[in-house]
Structure 1
């Protein structure tokens, strides 16, 4: 595929330019994070700040009006945002994935319209997982052609970002059984969004139910699911890993501050000042290594996705499957590393603290709750087996990606 047939282009963004554009906004988002978490206050304002700054156009090439960021740039920024507020960061997962999908799509008038929508600040949420406990292979959501448009009926759960969205990305079946994805306006009279997400973590991501009763989608807003970008599962998973990396960094940040503020030590301590106790300092050092491991793994898995994009831009179809397999291996390995690092850091940080560390005012429990919740998506127990089977038996690790649920939006 040549460079001119899609919207993809070589990245042009600089670290300095991206930091200048987004660091002040991310710092602002960090303010009041613990209070929002404690009161389950939805961050509508914070999402809008990021949207106004163009966060949703990170991956759009500069020649098309965006920031021209690489995937590595994007996921690193997402991790920084997650350090500030992991709920806000997770809200962006579906939007960024759909932008990536349209960048991979052919240049057409309808896709030009989508690029303009993104540049205009229109935001995409939604979910593919059925709300009736059936697997994706048994979808009951329907997308039916009617006159000059489509009609969508069904119900979804894990509809992350839906309450913040202008558009909802919905997976369903046509009358002939073909899998389609439809983009539906959230304000459509046939759409009902329900805040019934009851997880103990990631509580303000609007990951509840979305119901569709003859909601409308226009012709240019319905796409065959098989034509969605090849590394979509990798992208969704890597976005989740970005959020987990940010949580790991936040645990180190808040745990270090709490240790520095401790006044008295236990009788068994090696010093009277906790911040000088070698054993407590060792805990902080070990948690810092968790952060290092998470950031290194995220960078490597993100670069594997950038290599897929480079191959598509160059039109190297012969090496496409090899790059997809390499990315699958890298993202699976990163998932094992980052989840272990996040759960370790968010638990062990308490070993450096006294009973005051469990104060609700500090809210350090939110880091573990959020990490545990995210780690429960697309469970890691399967990943090591898949990796081992590939390394020993060369069993294709991407053979089942067509099932759509693997590495997708939730389970």
Structure 2
């Protein structure tokens, strides 16, 4: 039943139940990851497996037909998916964010219709970042009224997940300059999607261009950007951190396997067999610690997001505002910890492997390339300053963004 309260609910899921449902799908996705990376094969089938398993409904409350997962549980799952295939995990970032937005919004017939779409398997891709060096302060994508509907015109880049999507979540401005999000059918006239992402990592996330030329948008699919869920920017960033933590775990997994395959050791090593060499074991221990640190930081940070959502459920705006500040600081801290862990692990793992570790058959460099690409989305160089300014001067980290809910990168 529709009303003024949101569809958010406190979590009711048990994580082991979630893992039992989705873990086998993740394992199946992992089986072909290496070959897809080698051939830049887009994982259409793998994304569909997750849609069919109803991964897109993981945050929807059980009483509405979903699984009732917490944010912490959701990002833990995304980390495990990231370890299986970081491209597939990244593709889900925009979909899960829009689900969260519709759960956060007051219940209306339009919001209920979106929840039914999610339950039915509709998948959402992204489109917030302006092409041609546009910024959030100078949005060039326009949304104009035309009769009983709207039309969308403009160009986006980093349109992650677009080629897999039924709908595209696009940021535009109305004629009076109001930032607005529009949900556009991906296969309709006036929508053009291009696979022109040239990054050296995350090559199959469909993060290229999206061009809109008078694309039709219905009234019920238009939402003021100022009304998006308050922790949207933190959610987007946490999704990236979850994938990074997954890559760090995959590096440990693949590093251990590669070390076990080594048939000989160097003459000046400390053991005849590589797996008995204390220095090589030390390298694996360092990678393991990095993975543990990334996972722990993600767990602690995502728990703060659940506290923000809990304040929304309680209708406590003052607590929500306070938790948002805490969430920004926790997310910045986690970003610093997780990026450092991922980049260190994906680099030092080669010290345990010798020349055989750089074989293109193993493609272990994909872990560094994928981690470095994800780490570049929202530069960590600023985060230490933001955290330090908060500690010393009580500077409000939420005041840094042009859009109240935070940027999407």
**Shared fold, TM over 0.5:** yes
Aligned to 2:91: 91
Query: How much has 1:103 moved relative to structure 2?
Result: 0.2
Paired position in structure 1 for 2:182: 182
Kept after mapping to 2: 8 A contact 1:378/1:407: no
Q: Is the 8 A contact 1:200 1:369 kept in 2?
A: yes
**CA deviations over 1:147-174 (Å, ceiling 9, x no partner):** 1111000000000000000000010110
**CA distance in 1 between partners of 2:200 and 2:263 (Å):** 32
| Correspondence for 1:135 | 135
The answer on whether the counterparts of 1:233 and 1:401 sit within 8 Å (CA) in structure 2 is no
Q: Which residue of 2 aligns with 1:267?
A: 267
CA contact 2:259–2:275 (8 Å) conserved in 1: yes
Q: Distance in 2 between matches of 1:28 and 1:379?
A: 33
Distance (Å, rounded) in 2 between the aligned partners of 1:160 and 1:143: 21
Aligned to 2:32: 32
Q: How far, CA to CA, are the matches of 1:405 and 1:8 in structure 2?
A: 17
- Map of 2:307 onto structure 1: 307
* Counterparts of 1:10 and 1:187, CA distance in 2: 36
Contact kept in structure 2, 1:143 and 1:153, CA below 8 Å: yes
1:325 maps to which residue? 325
- Counterpart position of 1:9: 9
Normalised by the length of structure 2, the TM-score is 0.98
1:193 is matched with 193
Deviation by residue 1:206-256 (Cα, 9 ceiling, x = unmatched):
000000000011000000000000000000000000000000000000011
The answer to whether the 8 Å contact 2:230/2:405 transfers is: no
Q: Distance in 2 between matches of 1:230 and 1:150?
A: 25
335-344 vs 309-318, which deviates more? Answer: 309-318
- The 1-side partners of 2:104 and 2:192 are apart by 30
Query: What secondary structure sits across from 2:151 in the alignment?
Result: strand
1:286-328 C-alpha deviation (Å, 9 max, x unpaired):
1100001000000011000000011111122221211000110
Structure 1 spans left out of the alignment, 5+ residues: none
The answer to whether the 8 A contact 1:83-1:246 is kept is: yes
Shift of 1:404: 6.4
SS in structure 1 at match of 2:137: helix
Q: 1:404 to 1:210 in 2, by over 3 A?
A: farther
Give the alignment's Cα RMSD to 1 decimal: 1.1
Q: Within the alignment, does 1:246 sit opposite 2:246 as a pair? A: yes
Distance change >3 Å, CA 323–CA 405, structure 1 → 2 = closer
Question: Partners of 1:404 and 1:128 in 2: how far apart?
Answer: 14
Q: Write the distance in 2 (CA, Å) between the matches of 1:194 and 1:165.
A: 13
Question: Which residue does the alignment assign to 2:393?
Answer: 393
Aligned positions, number? 407
Q: Decide whether aligned partners of structure 1 residues 406 and 378 sit closer, same or farther in structure 2, where only a CA change above 3 A counts.
A: farther
Determine the C-alpha separation between the residues in 2 that align with 1:191 and 1:207.
Answer: 15
Match of residue 110 from structure 1: 110
Shift of 1:364: 0.2
Alpha-carbon separation, structure 2, partners of 1:145 and 1:65:
35
Contact 2:231/2:405 (<8 A) preserved: no
Equivalent pair of 1:139/1:172 in contact (CA under 8 Å):
yes
Say which SS state the counterpart of residue 136 (structure 1) adopts.
coil
Shift of 1:135: 1.3
